[in-house]
Amino acid sequence: MKSFHLAGLIATSGILLATASQANLIPLISRTNIQESPKKNPASALPAPGINQQQPIMSNNDRPVDPFNADPTPNSNILIADILASQKAISIFAGFTRDISSLTSRLNSDSTNSTLLAPVNSAISALPRKPWEDPQEYSALGSNAYEGQEGSERAEANLRRFVEAHIVGQSPWAEGEKLKTLGGREVWWERRKDAMIVMPGEVEVEKVAKKVGNGEVWVLKEVLDYARK
């Protein structure tokens, strides 16, 4: 592995991975509490002291049942940033989003919706190189392309490009609707038999993991195209 100076990134991702594996040991009830914790604002949404912190799940029988949706009733009090840590299948991607402060704010905002197209951990681990490594930079700058302050900045920019290639700045997102990722590439999705496929890369959606107040988290079986444009 090439050496580089992204200590913060590694530390954060490491902590996240550790947290994710430890979460196996945490009884289900405490994980539920984490998932259901109400957002911080507005204060008026907070229950009075002594009242159960969990928000009631409203039923909405008019909503069509989506076989890919594990949680068909969006809970508008919960935001994407609140539930990412509990999504073990995508903990690596979740860690990346936390390393980019503008994205953290976005996922923590109730006024901006996003569809997170989060590749499953195994898809990121299987990449031929780390998401922040760019083969063009290795050929131009050699093996220490990610050392020093400038190397660290290069790695951060590359990681941002990777993450932004996996976020659509809108939710809900209708089938066939062509939208741009935050990275600027056009994407859409279509149903094929029982599967949802993100186009044009034909990446299958493993599941729609969560629908919350500011968007949805989809788990993808592979990464999307994140090469420099």
Ligand X SMILES: *[C@@H]1O[C@H](CO)[C@@H](O)[C@H](O)[C@H]1NC(C)=O
Among candidate residues 227, 205, 224, the one with its CA nearest the CA of residue 216: 205
**Span near ligand X by CB under 6 A; candidates 27-35, 136-144, 179-187, 212-220:** 212-220
* Cβ atoms of residues 182 and 164 within 8 Å: yes
**Span near ligand X by CB under 6 A; candidates 80-88, 119-127, 194-202, 211-219:** 211-219
Among candidate residues 121, 49, 57, 53, the one with its CA nearest the CA of residue 89: 121
CB of 110 to ligand X, least distance (A): 9
**Span near ligand X by CB under 6 A; candidates 57-65, 84-92, 189-197, 210-218:** 210-218
CA distance 44 to 64: 31
CA distance 121 to 57: 30
Residue 150, by phi and psi: left (phi above 0), alpha (psi -120 to 50) or beta?
Answer: alpha
Tell whether residue 213 is a contact of ligand X (CB under 6 A): yes
CB of 215 to ligand X, least distance (A): 6
Contact pick of 74, 95, 119, 151 for ligand X (by CB under 6 A): 74
Contact letters (x/-) for ligand X, 33-72, by CB under 6 A? ----------------------------------------
CA distance 145 to 134: 9
Tell whether residue 113 is a contact of ligand X (CB under 6 A): yes
Residues that bind ligand X (CB under 6 A): 74, 113, 171-172, 213-215
